[in-house]
Structure 1
């Protein structure tokens, strides 16, 4: 009987560890890079070429300026966002700012891509994942994109 109790406790502890390790959009930090897809963090996936072609990168939430990743800073400054998925595809390693042509919004909120840094100027808006227009070629910001923002009020 004692062995069954210990096994049950062990199973609960392991399950709790796995559940706490899974990232979620509720606790993801703005500007964090994630793998593109619905893996628990739901980024905006940005492609180098139109029609979901070429290298890509997934970024969660708000980004003030694609030229400065706040999570990649040192005393020398901040590194820019780059296309980081698809090392054998066109655009891999290229700066993201002013080089994106297509997006796929995996997030549960609408997201905008802006022409200027600081969320200003013309913008392309993408609906939440699974609703309306949540992927497609950029229009107003095709190869002229500098920032992104989630449209969800207090998120």
Structure 2
């Protein structure tokens, strides 16, 4: 929420974020695209470079490859002149040039899995900090970048959401309910009354739902994302879900909050004072939700007190 100011984050403990490491080698690579591999980056090919800024030896491909291999003579190697020539390319590339007409997706793991970086047709750039020297497979996509749209609608929850893990330099596709459950305890205090947590669960869900439907944003390297994992959107930390906050998410999961038939982009901030001039019927006070719940108000009453003209169905 770009205009949200004073936050609750100083009250909330940070969680340790684990990074899934690259997977094991699956199988010896088959030479499906070996015929055109001559160490020259020709039109129609996707090419890795050993060094950043497209320096050193290169390795060229005309199609997808789910595993590169790690030992000679069965691995896919750097063939062009320069530093790195003869080395297996798995976990060794630092930059790439996509001279094909399709978007090429580079993956952290073998088997087209894990974090990824998309290279649009014509893109010539360095691998990001997650993928540099951690490249295990690549895929020529059928058309432009995939994953930029959602299977959700204004009446149907999205199945997943694309979360830009800003400090990690990657985009994760996260199960939508898992996302909401790992945002709420970082935006609401888990010890607050249940009705406050339910109101928070609705706001967190609606904000993510709105951006899953409408986002056209991309990272600097061209990957689509719906929300960031920090205060620019909502704070998402995997593994931080609590019993109380998860119960609030479960209790409100089948309720949607709309205005004029469309999912409301539900903003919130710490207090009504902090919201300032932005208190326009689109913002909820987090502490205010706690105080109203302490007074015995239900989460539906709380939501209607802050968000004008909403329908809960």
Query: Over alpha carbons, which structure has the higher Rg?
Result: 2
Counterpart-to-counterpart distance in 2, 1:52 and 1:125:
17
Q: Is the alpha carbon distance of 1:126 and 1:61 closer, same or farther for their aligned partners in structure 2, counting shifts above 3 Å?
A: same
**1:5-63 deviation per Cα after TM superposition (whole angstroms, max 9, x unaligned):** xxxxxxxxxxxxxxxxxxxxxxxx9533433122xxx1111000000010001011110
| Structure with the higher fraction of residues in strand conformation | 1
> What corresponds to 1:37 in structure 2?
42
**1:60-98 deviation per Cα after TM superposition (whole angstroms, max 9, x unaligned):** 111010117xxx9xxxxx700000011xx1101111000
Q: Aligned Cα RMSD in Å? A: 2.2
> What corresponds to 2:77 in structure 1?
82
Q: Is the 8 A contact 1:30 1:60 kept in 2?
A: no
Counterpart-to-counterpart distance in 1, 2:80 and 2:32:
19
> What corresponds to 2:142 in structure 1?
152
Provide TM-score, normalisation by structure 1: 0.65
For structure 2, the residue ranges without an aligned partner over 5 or more in a row are 1-30, 144-313
Which is bigger in relative contact order (C-alpha 8 A, separation at least 6)? 1
2:121 maps to 1:128: yes
| Structure with the higher fraction of residues in helix conformation | 2
2:52 maps to 1:50: yes
For structure 1, the residue ranges without an aligned partner over 5 or more in a row are 1-28, 73-77
Q: Which segments of structure 1 move beyond 4 Å, counting only runs of 4 or more?
A: none
Aligned residues: 109
Provide TM-score, normalisation by structure 2: 0.33
